[in-house]
């Protein structure tokens, strides 16, 4: 399901950029067809993506991330349900203050769960950012391959069969999907050879540019960790304040109980003394 979603995200990204252009191109083709023959080709983006190794790797990587995030959210949700069940079972024997305290703790946990869900799957969450980072290199590969083939074969237009553009009929001989895949694979092999050669000849020490990139990444990671640490600290302080408040309520309640017990004992003692005095008077008479 997630792989289909990622494919749709990739394809929709391309469609949003090109749907208006495609309409204009179709109008241009119909108007200028009588002037000269147009050379047209098409691709099947879904087929191309399914055969690009980098895209399959992106799917697996994103799947692993999503599974990890879902487990964390499920764990938090189960804990909240336990708190709710405990409160429902103990509500009859708890004081109003303790009930309010437990309800506040549950509300805090629910707020934290919503924050985590937004952090992972929100409009600008980790999933959106991570997916965008994964898709961009693949998108560039496909675009570059199509541009290279179109330039070499002198195509006037290249359409996407899997897009929203309606194609009532398409002749297979105009399908250049395999050419696009071949171009991507050939480019990959060339890049891999260059990378191996560069790695072999590269000095062991990092260049200033590499150091700068690493430093920027480390700074970004440290900043993100600091933000999360601050949020965690604030949550812990709030929990600590709740715990102290709960202990204070318990202490006051125990003090009231002790005071009441002493009053009862004093009253009992007084009654006993009065009884003894009455008995003595009766004996004297």
Quick check: 110 pLDDT over 90? yes
Quick check: 15 pLDDT over 60? no
| CA atoms within 13 Å, Cβ hemisphere of 1 | 2
Model pLDDT, residue 166: 62
How distant is the alpha carbon of residue 112 from its chain centre?
14
pLDDT tens, residue by residue, 39-78: 888 888 888 888 888 888 888 888 899 999 999 999 999 9
- Domain locations in the chain as residue ranges: 2-202, 209-270
Tally of residues, the chain: 285
pLDDT tens, residue by residue, 176-221: 888 888 888 888 888 778 877 777 776 666 677 777 878 888 888 8
Q: What number of other Cβ atoms are within 10 A of residue 146's Cβ? A: 22
Q: Which residues contact 119 (CB under 8 A, 6 or more apart)?
A: 125, 126
> What is the phi/psi pair of residue 157, to 5°?
-140, 145
Range in 161-170, 182-191, 252-261 with the lowest mean pLDDT: 161-170
DSSP 158: E
pLDDT tens, residue by residue, 219-245: 888 888 888 888 888 888 988 888 898
Q: What CA–CA distance (Å, rounded) separates 285 from 283?
A: 5
Model pLDDT, residue 165: 64
The predicted model scores a pTM of 0.48
User: The dihedral of CA 111, 113, 119, 125: what is its sign?
Assistant: negative
Model pLDDT, residue 13: 54
Model pLDDT, residue 24: 42
pLDDT category of residue 257 using cuts at 50, 70 and 90: confident
Quick check: 35 pLDDT over 50? no
Question: Is 253 in contact with 109 (CB distance < 8 Å)?
Answer: no
Percent of the chain having pLDDT more than 70?
82
């Amino acid at each position: 399901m997630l792989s289909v979603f990622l494919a749709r995200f990739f394809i929709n990204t391309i469609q949003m950029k090109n749907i208006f252009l495609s309409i204009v191109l179709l109008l241009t083709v119909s108007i200028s067809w009588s002037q000269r023959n147009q050379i047209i080709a098409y691709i099947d983006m879904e087929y191309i993506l399914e055969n690009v190794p980098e895209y399959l790797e992106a799917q697996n990587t994103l799947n692993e991330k999503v599974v990890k995030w879902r487990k964390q959210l499920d764990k938090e949700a189960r804990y909240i349900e336990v708190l709710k069940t405990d409160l429902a079972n103990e509500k009859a024997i708890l004081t109003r203050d303790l009930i309010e305290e437990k309800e506040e703790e549950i509300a805090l946990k629910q707020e934290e769960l919503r924050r985590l869900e937004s952090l992972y799957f929100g409009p600008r969450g980790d999933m959106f950012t991570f997916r965008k980072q994964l898709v961009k290199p693949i998108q560039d590969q496909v675009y570059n391959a199509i541009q290279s083939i179109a330039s070499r074969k002198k195509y006037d237009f290249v359409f996407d069969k899997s897009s929203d553009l309606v194609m009532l009929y398409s002749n297979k001989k105009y399908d250049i999907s395999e050419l696009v895949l071949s171009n991507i694979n050939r480019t990959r092999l060339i890049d891999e050879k260059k990378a191996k050669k560069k790695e072999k000849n590269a000095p062991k020490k990092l260049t200033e540019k590499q150091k700068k990139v690493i430093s920027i990444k480390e700074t970004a990671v440290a900043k993100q960790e600091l933000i999360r640490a601050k949020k965690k600290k604030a949550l812990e302080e709030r929990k600590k304040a709740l715990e102290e408040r709960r202990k204070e309520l318990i202490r006051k309640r125990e003090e009231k109980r002790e005071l009441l017990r002493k009053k009862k004992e004093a009253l009992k003692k007084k009654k006993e003394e009065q009884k003894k005095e009455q008995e003595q008077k009766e004996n004297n008479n």
